[in-house]
Structure 1
Amino acid sequence: MKYLLGIDLGTSSVKTCLIDYTGTECFSDSEVYSINTPARNWAEQDPEEWWRATKKTIQHCLQKVGRYEVEITGIGFSGQMHGLVILDKDKQVIRPAIIWCDQRSQQQIHSIHNKIHKEEVGRQTLNALSPGFLLPSLMWIKEHEPFNYEKIDKVVLPKDYIRYRITGEIGTDSTDACGTLIFNIERREWAEDLIKKLGINRNLFPLCREPYEIAGYVTRIAANETGLKLATPVVYGGGDQPMQAVGNGILSSGTISCTIGTGGQLFSPVNQPVHDRLYRTNTFCHVKNWYILGANLSAGLSLKWLMENILYIADFTKLNKETSKIPSGSEKLLFLPYLNGDRTPHMDANAKGMFFGLQLKHNRYHMLRAVMEGVAFSLRDSLEIFNELQIPVEQVIASGGFIQSDLWMQIVADVFQKSICTTLTKEHACKGAAIMAAVGTKVFNSMEEAVSEMVKKSDRLVEPNEKNGYVYNEQYELFKSLYIQNRELFMI
């Protein structure tokens, strides 16, 4: 039987999925890894650990179906965005990757703005500089680890390194390169002028193509290590946000995706590269157009933090029923989900998390619900900006781990006052990656045809509760004022 292989290199795990041409997710496997924090505000991962985990998941998928009974006709990728992997002339990893949630490079952003006015940076990248993105991380290495900087032959993004280990070819794609902040979003090419003004060697940046184009073929070494067939075609793949959107069938404006995983994102395709003039959101490259993205850095991560470090609970599903009994608004208990700074709308690396309004009547279930509500409020910040930009919101499709919780889905619907639906896809980013492979290898004639055949809507529809909406409107105003009133304190 013929399959496509979608590989999603996430922040906490890598997932590999065998998907047939109808879009059925036949076999999947995942392997977890951790984020290393060797210093305050640092977040790093070992690319070799990514590769070891990826090999395991590929091998396990092939074992499930039988290595000699499966024909994989194409391989695609999805990956955590913004991270920096530096390679030497022998294509060896020089140091651990600096990933998207790293906050160390604030000073480097100031230094970049001393050379290039922030308006000029914004004109080309359509975004504000933020810690954790490839460019500020690269400049941090240049300043603090010059001995490593001098060794650099190529800089790549996380999933590009895994694709290199499979194909032996270095390259990236527009949907991931756009998140480096050294990329001209409108032209879909490296920002040559910015590179020159910053004194960076242009040759550090690899070839950039579109996510559905063929990047290379499985090498003999990779075939021996993974069990994949020699010379299987491999496409470039893309960043996790556009890939999960494609996996949900989201290609054009009108439909937005709401994702809550480790982070939280609100995603809307746009037909022109429009952007927020205050740079509270990001404008990046989608597969054939562009998209606006609002992001929270600690969405599902906030719930995980509460469960593991405060309540010592391993399984939220056991508490879901009791938490559902807590009234909307958590009886005036609010949570700011800024455990690792904030991106949208504040773009503030110093923002902190906090509970506000704690009283003797509150218990663990109030705290759990308040965290879920706080994340929903943070994502509503993005929705409000979409409304300001007159981006149509005709349909909201949910994805990520939070769709496993009926309670959290209802909270988001009530906070947004929008109906929320889902697709039958389980591994959205893996399916998006597989669709790239399907288009690149001519299984389908177009992206639209591939999505039509491989993505199916579910019958699940969560309708907003208008009464709860009134409660949340009041709470949302207080939520917004909490950051404003505490902004200076967060600097301490």
Structure 2
Amino acid sequence: MSGKDDQLLLSLDIGTTGGRTIVFNTHGKILASAYEEYPSLYPSPAFVEQNAEDWWRVAKNTVHEVLKDKNVNSSKIVGISCTNQRETIVPVDETGRSLSNAIVWQDRRTIEECKYIEEKIGKDKIYELTGLTIDPYFSSPKIQWIKKHWSKAFNDAHKFLLVHDFIQMRLTNEFVTDHSNASRTMLFDINKLDWSDKILNTLEIPKEKLPKSLPSGTKIGGLTKQAAKELNLHEDISVSVGGGDQQCAAIGVGVTEKGRIKATTGTGTFLLAFLDKSQRDSKKRVLCSCHAMPGKFVYEASIFTTGSILRWFRDNFSSAEKSLAPRLNLDSYDLLGMQAETIPPGSEGLMIVPHFVGAGAPHWDPNARGIIFGLGLGHTRNHLIRAIMEATCYEIKSNLLIFKELGVPITELRITGGASRNSAWNQIEADICNLPVIKGQVEEATALGAAILAGVGAGIYNNIESAANEMVIIDEQRKPIKKNNVKYEQFFTVYSQLYQSIKDRNLYEKLSKIM
């Protein structure tokens, strides 16, 4: 085997809109990357489906693409691991071929199945066993829907696989999932780290229809002859159990110890807090899942619309920036950030509550909607830009306060996602949260997390912590500015009351009935 410095690790990142393959060296540097989109299908307004064969097709295509790069010697690739969009589920036969379209995590068809689960098991029991709330988001009601409406696919299914499991089966011919992905199905007992007999028996889902669940970073084996041929790789590459996208992103920014919080801001914002043991919030404001580190857990808080609101503003009110940015060799979001920096902290009293498609953690209110508060004649579009950025950070702060209330130590924010490219936004985040905001050198933290798991499974590293210490390189750190934080604390006392003031008067619900 070649020396450690010569060895390469390959990540397959199968996301919601497309798949990416990235080759890393053992110091966390990207040597080659390729991305390809695949379509989602919308048979009706509430339905979101994908053809699982597209995942494998794109995985193959992007692997072929990175192997063309002069920086990549395929004989030096020693490990592969996969990360994925979570909760999406597909029934497959004994050969791993899909029996229907996959039902995607965004799909909302399973309202009735959720009501059934609540009636038969109850919210409290589900939260106690799985760490999750009952919601169409998760895999369990999707399987229930398949049983009722696609009965042949359910009966013929050898296994129900998540995206990660489907790809791993094609690589190794083994039906395996990992704890981090399994813990997002609403079928997995995170206390026992096994499928819940209580839930499966109540919902009449045979346990044998689910894959074996292993800790992330466990070596499954090598590539099959067929997979090696299809990918143009050698058979003795180590294939290791991967992890869910959010947990892998946490590893990819170094959230491997207490005190570090992962904040990914793209369309929405996803916060993960490191936990040594499984914990619960008695008020069910935040969820608990397995980390992609064996024996560790995370609190999760999802804020549905953050970056998407800035995109909404750009697309509807920033045509000049969209046309000007390419001529200045800038991204349009860079220009929006520059404009936000012309406005003082607090946007001179202008606040936006970013619940444009309902509220996620900690409110979990599907009827909530966005609010613009404090608007005056002296405010400009630049005030609105900054207020949108501040709104995201106020929501992050709200959830961090809940983490603290639950006993989670917090020393720093490790950020990733598209918003992390915006230095103005990063500084606002540091100032509002009163924490150091740290950005890794590799923006594709999810894929880096999977590469770390591949390195552990291949035996390059003894454990995930030591691998992350070597492969996660810090690029930028923003420290809170005291005077800005003092000002933001005053504004936050007002902001934190806005949602509840509307909620207490049933105005969200009244509006939803009119719309």
Structure-1-length-normalised TM-score: 0.92
Match of 1:136 among 130, 141, 157: 141
Quick one: distance in 2 between partners of 1:196 and 1:84? Answer: 19
Flag the 1:483–1:86 CA change in 2: closer, same or farther, 3 A.
Answer: farther
- Which protein shows a greater Rg? 2
Deviation of residue 385 (structure 1)? 1.1
Partner of 1:102: 107
Quick one: distance in 2 between partners of 1:88 and 1:369? Answer: 51
Q: Give deviations 1:378-429, integer Å, cap 9, x for gaps.
A: 2223112102102100122111111100121122222212221223233211
Which deviates the most, 102-111 or 145-154? 145-154
Quick one: distance in 1 between partners of 2:27 and 2:79? Answer: 14
Quick one: distance in 1 between partners of 2:351 and 2:247? Answer: 31
Match of 2:181 among 151, 155, 176: 176
Deviation of residue 69 (structure 1)? 5.7
Quick one: distance in 2 between partners of 1:339 and 1:54? Answer: 34
Partner of 2:446: 429
Matched ranges for 1:447-462 at <5 A = 447-462=464-479
Matched ranges for 1:120-135 at <5 A = 120-135=125-140
Q: Is 1:62 the counterpart of 2:81 in the alignment?
A: no
Q: Is 1:302 the counterpart of 2:319 in the alignment?
A: no
Match of 2:425 among 393, 400, 408: 408
Matched ranges for 1:154-193 at <5 A = 154-193=159-198
Matched ranges for 1:298-337 at <5 A = 298-308=305-315, 311=318, 314=322, 315-337=332-354
Q: Is the contact made by 1:5 and 1:18 (CA closer than 8 Å) also made in structure 2?
A: yes
Deviation of residue 131 (structure 1)? 1.9
Deviation of residue 35 (structure 1)? 4.3
Unmatched 5+ residue regions in structure 2? Answer: 1-5, 323-331
Quick one: distance in 2 between partners of 1:166 and 1:234? Answer: 8
2:508 partner amino acid: R
Quick one: distance in 2 between partners of 1:357 and 1:94? Answer: 54
Partner of 1:417: 434
Q: Is 1:76 the counterpart of 2:81 in the alignment?
A: yes
Report SS of the residue matched to 1:394.
strand
Quick one: distance in 2 between partners of 1:377 and 1:483? Answer: 17
Partner of 2:273: 268
Partner of 1:370: 387
Q: Give deviations 1:7-55, integer Å, cap 9, x for gaps.
A: 2222233232211122222222222345444433433333233223222
Quick one: distance in 2 between partners of 1:167 and 1:90? Answer: 12
2:16 partner amino acid: T
Flag the 1:361–1:59 CA change in 2: closer, same or farther, 3 A.
Answer: farther
Aligned residues: 492
Quick one: distance in 2 between partners of 1:39 and 1:332? Answer: 42
Partner of 2:495: 476
Report SS of the residue matched to 1:161.
helix
Report SS of the residue matched to 1:180.
coil
Q: Give deviations 1:44-70, integer Å, cap 9, x for gaps.
A: 333233223222221221111366564
Deviation of residue 216 (structure 1)? 3.4
Partner of 2:329: none
Flag the 1:397–1:356 CA change in 2: closer, same or farther, 3 A.
Answer: same
Q: Give deviations 1:451-478, integer Å, cap 9, x for gaps.
A: 2222233352232422442354144224
Q: Is the contact made by 2:255 and 2:274 (CA closer than 8 Å) also made in structure 1?
A: yes
Quick one: distance in 2 between partners of 1:31 and 1:237? Answer: 20
Flag the 1:319–1:172 CA change in 2: closer, same or farther, 3 A.
Answer: same
Quick one: distance in 2 between partners of 1:468 and 1:108? Answer: 47
Partner of 2:509: 488
Report SS of the residue matched to 1:129.
coil
Identity in percent: 30
Deviation of residue 490 (structure 1)? 5.5
Q: Is the contact made by 2:432 and 2:485 (CA closer than 8 Å) also made in structure 1?
A: no
Deviation of residue 359 (structure 1)? 5.5
Q: Is the contact made by 1:89 and 1:151 (CA closer than 8 Å) also made in structure 2?
A: no
Q: Give deviations 1:140-168, integer Å, cap 9, x for gaps.
A: 33334434433332111122222222223
Q: Is the contact made by 1:311 and 1:364 (CA closer than 8 Å) also made in structure 2?
A: no
Partner of 1:85: 90
Report SS of the residue matched to 2:387.
helix
Quick one: distance in 2 between partners of 1:351 and 1:150? Answer: 39
Quick one: distance in 2 between partners of 1:21 and 1:205? Answer: 34
Quick one: distance in 2 between partners of 1:339 and 1:168? Answer: 43
Q: Is the contact made by 1:351 and 1:490 (CA closer than 8 Å) also made in structure 2?
A: no
Deviation of residue 325 (structure 1)? 1.8
Matched ranges for 1:233-272 at <5 A = 233-272=238-277
Flag the 1:478–1:311 CA change in 2: closer, same or farther, 3 A.
Answer: farther
Quick one: distance in 1 between partners of 2:72 and 2:27? Answer: 21
Report SS of the residue matched to 2:184.
helix
Deviation of residue 290 (structure 1)? 0.9
Flag the 1:301–1:38 CA change in 2: closer, same or farther, 3 A.
Answer: farther
Quick one: distance in 2 between partners of 1:34 and 1:359? Answer: 43
1:306 partner amino acid: F
Which deviates the most, 57-66 or 353-362? 353-362
Quick one: distance in 1 between partners of 2:79 and 2:371? Answer: 46
Q: Is the contact made by 2:268 and 2:302 (CA closer than 8 Å) also made in structure 1?
A: yes
Deviation of residue 218 (structure 1)? 2.0
Deviation of residue 84 (structure 1)? 1.6
2:307 partner amino acid: G
Deviation of residue 73 (structure 1)? 0.2
Report SS of the residue matched to 2:407.
coil
Matched ranges for 1:6-17 at <5 A = 6-17=11-22
Partner of 1:228: 233
Q: Is the contact made by 1:328 and 1:472 (CA closer than 8 Å) also made in structure 2?
A: no
Quick one: distance in 1 between partners of 2:378 and 2:66? Answer: 49
Report SS of the residue matched to 2:34.
strand
Q: Is the contact made by 1:62 and 1:70 (CA closer than 8 Å) also made in structure 2?
A: no
1:267 partner amino acid: L
Report SS of the residue matched to 1:179.
coil
Match of 2:10 among 2, 5, 13: 5
Flag the 1:459–1:338 CA change in 2: closer, same or farther, 3 A.
Answer: closer
Which deviates the most, 211-220 or 139-148? 139-148
1:488 partner amino acid: E
Report SS of the residue matched to 1:460.
strand
Quick one: distance in 1 between partners of 2:245 and 2:15? Answer: 8
Which deviates the most, 29-38 or 375-384? 29-38
